[in-house]
Structure 1
Amino acid sequence: MQLGLAANRRHHANGDAALFRWLHASGAGLRELGVSLHAVGRTFDAIHERGALAGYDGLRRYPYGREGGLMKLVAEVVGMGEDRTLDGAIYFIDPVDPSSIFPEAVALKRQCVIQGKPFLSTVASARDWVESERIHAGLVPDAGADDLYRFTGQTVALIAHDALKPRMLEFADRHFDLLSRFASRVATGTTGLRLNELAWRRGWPQGQAWTQRFQSGPLGGDAQIADLVLDGRCQRAVFFEDPHVARQHEADIQLLERAVTTVTDTVACLTSPGVADRWAVAATRRATLA
């Protein structure tokens, strides 16, 4: 597996920064899986200077961002041939860093979503991805990742844009038992209504909401869920975004994404149906092994 890797300056500025918290938590898993990390200039330099992956031959250096390093990652997510195709990208975003909204930064996420590849923008998401892939590889669960899988004390947000609402319903139907293990589920208006109807058809007690509904996205539902994230009341977001349609409430969507990256250690985000399915299969399997 090959992943692009970048981190805004704040996230690699010192030994306690997000990049190093992730490497400390997931470094052993990266070695077990043999993941190749294609790191943009300053991110590579920071890892090298601190010896965070000492002796690891899977770290490759790309140019600095100003020299096109992030642009190269975008092209390789799309695919540039057998030797230059990435399986996803990790980009630790500092939401107040202007470079996080540069075209190449936005395009990196957009192309990961379009190509159905993981886009991991928080420490929790990156830790979660490593553990999920470890389970798919047949490895024993890492006790250090148990906090990510204590679903009975967590809330999951289930959000889907109009064209992807059918995919969200299919996802929820396939993984209903897993999602029902969460302490609670939240969703924006129409998605929440349809999820509740699905749950009642599956035998959930009639009249008892399986999903707490907030306002629709255009009326502020994304902002309401962002507030839960910031207050530590939502630990996972399954967000099926349609990258092909311009939306009037784009600012609200960005607000939710900004909230997730603000609390980088505590919220994991899944950004496309295929990525979410792969996670759900691993999470279900892990529960039988732990």
Structure 2
Amino acid sequence: MAETCLNIGLVAHDAMKATLLDWVTRNKSILEKHRFCATGTTWKVLTDIHRDMKIERLKSGPMGGDQQLGARICEGKLDVLIFFQDPMTAQPHDVDVKALVRMSTLYDIPLACNPATADLIITNPAFAHPAR
């Protein structure tokens, strides 16, 4: 069965950016065949280390990046969302975060809010061979 390239959104709150970077680094061989987009600062953190990964840059989350991801979900242009959230810090754009989680739920998009869930998503056989 041929592997399918998925569209994956990458986002992390400030306190979780290092965790996302570590997760991407640890799983790069699994991830490298897929397409990515990331919100502003998350994009910078990832591309500073992984210059060879092609990651489309979206706006910063509070400046519209979360809405850009939500729009892609609505349009069927995002297959997986990896969004490492900081549960201990209030976010000034919490309404945007909630809307993005809501869209992921509404459109049945796999959503990982922590490394354990992200690991389960990418090690599931459906990740390598999604039904489209």
One fold, TM greater than 0.5?
A: yes
Residue 194 of structure 1 aligns with an amino acid whose one-letter code is V
| Alpha-carbon distance in structure 1 between the residues aligned to 2:13 and 2:101 | 14
Partner SS, residue 212 of structure 1: strand
| Alpha-carbon distance in structure 1 between the residues aligned to 2:103 and 2:116 | 23
Partner SS, residue 87 of structure 2: coil
Aligned residue runs from structure 1 range 71-82, under 5 A: none
| Alpha-carbon distance in structure 2 between the residues aligned to 1:242 and 1:248 | 12
1:270 match? 112
Q: Tell me if 1:246 matches 2:121.
A: no
Aligned residue runs from structure 1 range 47-62, under 5 A: none
2:29 match? 177
On the 8 A contact 2:110/2:121 being kept in 1, the answer is no
Q: Relative to structure 1, is the Cα distance of residues 216 and 274 closer, same or farther in structure 2, using a 3 angstrom cutoff?
A: same
Q: Tell me if 1:187 matches 2:38.
A: yes
Could you give the per-residue CA deviations for residues 64-118 of structure 1, whole angstroms, max 9, x where no partner exists?
A: xxxxxxxxxxxxxxxxxxxxxxxxxxxxxxxxxxxxxxxxxxxxxxxxxxxxxxx
Q: Relative to structure 1, is the Cα distance of residues 215 and 269 closer, same or farther in structure 2, using a 3 angstrom cutoff?
A: same
TM-superposed CA distance for 1:278, in Å, is 3.9
| Alpha-carbon distance in structure 2 between the residues aligned to 1:276 and 1:213 | 21
Could you give the per-residue CA deviations for residues 189-220 of structure 1, whole angstroms, max 9, x where no partner exists?
A: 010112112222xxx2xxxx621111111111
List gaps (5 residues or longer) in structure 1: 1-145
Aligned residue runs from structure 1 range 142-157, under 5 A: 150-152=3-5, 154-157=6-9
| Alpha-carbon distance in structure 2 between the residues aligned to 1:258 and 1:163 | 22
Could you give the per-residue CA deviations for residues 36-65 of structure 1, whole angstroms, max 9, x where no partner exists?
A: xxxxxxxxxxxxxxxxxxxxxxxxxxxxxx
TM-superposed CA distance for 1:150, in Å, is 4.8
| Alpha-carbon distance in structure 1 between the residues aligned to 2:25 and 2:49 | 7
TM-superposed CA distance for 1:225, in Å, is 0.6
Partner SS, residue 223 of structure 1: helix
Residue 192 of structure 1 aligns with an amino acid whose one-letter code is W
In terms of fraction of residues, the more helix-rich structure is: 1
| Alpha-carbon distance in structure 2 between the residues aligned to 1:238 and 1:150 | 20
Q: In percent, how many aligned pairs have the same letter?
A: 30
2:65 match? 221
After the TM superposition, which parts of structure 1 deviate over 3 Å for at least 4 consecutive aligned residues?
none
2:54 match? 210
Between the two proteins, the alignment pairs up a number of residues equal to: 127
Q: Relative to structure 1, is the Cα distance of residues 194 and 247 closer, same or farther in structure 2, using a 3 angstrom cutoff?
A: same
RMSD: 2.1
| Alpha-carbon distance in structure 2 between the residues aligned to 1:239 and 1:190 | 13
1:233 match? 77
Residue 261 of structure 1 aligns with an amino acid whose one-letter code is T
Bigger RCO of structures 1 and 2 (CA < 8 A, at least 6 apart): 2
Q: Give TM-score scaled by structure 2 length.
A: 0.86
| Alpha-carbon distance in structure 2 between the residues aligned to 1:170 and 1:190 | 15
Q: Give TM-score scaled by structure 1 length.
A: 0.41
| Alpha-carbon distance in structure 2 between the residues aligned to 1:172 and 1:254 | 24
Partner SS, residue 225 of structure 1: helix
